[in-house]
Amino acid sequence: MTVRTRFAPSPTGYLHIGGVRTALFCWLYARRFKGTFVLRIEDTDRERSTGEAIQQILDGMKWVGLDHDEGPFYQTQRFDRYKAVLESMLDQGTAYRCYCSKDELEQMRTAQTARGEKPRYDGRCRNRTSAPAGAPFVVRFKNPLDGEIVVEDVVHGPVVFKNAELDDLIIARSDGTPTYNFCVVVDDMDMRITHVIRGDDHLNNTPRQMNMLIALQSPPPVYAHLPMILGSDGAKLSKRHGAVSVLQYRDEGFLPEALLNYLVRLGWSHGDQEIFSRQQMLELFDIVDVNKSASAFNGEKLAWLNQQHIMRAQPARIVEPLKWHLQQLGVTADSDAQLELIVLAQRERAKTIKEMAANSVFFFKAPAAYDEKAVRKHVNAEIVALLRELSGRLSTLTPWSAEAIHESINAFAVQMGQSLGKLAQPIRLAVTGGAVSPPIDATLAILGQQQALARIAAACDAWSA
């Protein structure tokens, strides 16, 4: 059997991390077993589905790198197919027209509640032989009345549903449009989906969908219902926990590989390993290893993983996102080579690329002011005189490299009977305006000889005024 999985988001909102985790598990399973990954847009909710949401799904999937082999397929473009299957089911007697009015259904439910019964459709139109002239109707699936349906769920194990507890589901509305559960069944059948991997909030839909597939003489796929992702407080995941658009994580400076690494660990594990490359996930992931317990979202853990991926990545990998974040701050880099040096200097000091960009603006803009507290602590007339003399020596330094700069400053400090630290902090203040930066030799090397000496000279003039 060739594995065929599908990710089928509804474009009624943004693609958030719960959806991305589902897509990731579907994608990994298909890739692991040399199968096919299908992208399907379930846009039958015409009132709530938007083109903007569809584009956001496509952009989000592209950013995280979960490429699809087939699709995207849109349910609104398949209405003729759904209509044909509905007519076939009506002809074969596996579906029927229901003429019950809203008032009649409400009276039925009220009576059931009064008797202490669970409100459900009682099948009164199931064997109806005549139809009221011109009366509106819905189409219902004729669910089996007895026996049971067993969902052999890969995650939860066997889940048994009594057919007698499943009422006859509406599969087409009175305006003729098909309903969600019916469209899903036809799509999974037509697209030959072998494994349905989705959130466990869909588990209660599964027995009805399986019964419809059996009625259509189509073998049901293998089902795997994923545990929920909860907030750190145990409540349902919401915006305040991190259930925001996946593209917001991009805008906050997270790497897609770090986000996927974090999401794969929500419900799945491989020993005690925490950090996974995309290739390692592809080699190790199997849906049978997913546990059934809900997972808690932890933003701090995600930030830690992001920093680990930043530190492990080739500097060139970080250049483009760093360039984008710098542009948001009104900064344009001189060259990719310069950005690679900044990445090497800053990657252990930033949990996100957005933070790295904010910490690196001084490389491109001379300080407009200096940290007053740090100046009072580290700068005096003697230091200013030493910096001027040091600048004279550095002006002839060649090559202008971190190693050469370190040796030159260190030799000058020894000659002047000063500690390296006593000189390094005033230099840092002069070139950055603050008291925090990468090592001063690396900082000066990245700035370049002309810019570094100009900033030292400007600071000395300011401090002497």
Catalogue the active-site residues.
239
Q: Is the distance from CB of 309 to CB of 255 less than 8 angstroms?
A: yes
For the chain, the residue count is 465
Q: Which residues contact 314 (CB under 8 A, 6 or more apart)?
A: none
Rounded Cα gap, residues 245 and 53, in angstroms: 10
Nearest to 24 by CA among 235, 189, 260: 260
Nearest to 1 by CA among 40, 29, 43, 42: 29
Rounded Cα gap, residues 141 and 86, in angstroms: 9
> From the CB of residue 36, how many other CB atoms can be counted at a distance below 10 Å?
19
Three-state secondary structure along the chain?
A: CCCEEEECCCCCCCCCHHHHHHHHHHHHHHHHCCCEEEEEECCCCCCCCCHHHHHHHHHHHHHHCCCCCEEEEEHHHCHHHHHHHHHHHHHHCCEEEECCCHHHHHHHHHHHHHCCCCCCCCCCCCCCCCCCCCCCCEEEECCCCCCEEEEEECCCEEEEEEHHHCCCCEEECCCCCECHHHHHHHHHHHCCCCEEEEEHHHHHHHHHHHHHHHHCCCCCCEEEEECCEECCCCCECCCCCCCCCHHHHHHCCCCHHHHHHHHHCCCCCCCCCCCCCHHHHHHHCCHHHCCCCCEECCHHHHHHHHHHHHHHCCHHHHHHHHHHHHHHCCCCCCCHHHHHHHHHHHHHHCCCHHHHHHHHHHHCCCCCCCCHHHHHHHCCHHHHHHHHHHHHHHCCCCCCCHHHHHHHHHHHHHHHCCCHHHHHHHHHHHHHCCCCCCCHHHHHHHHCHHHHHHHHHHHHHHHHC
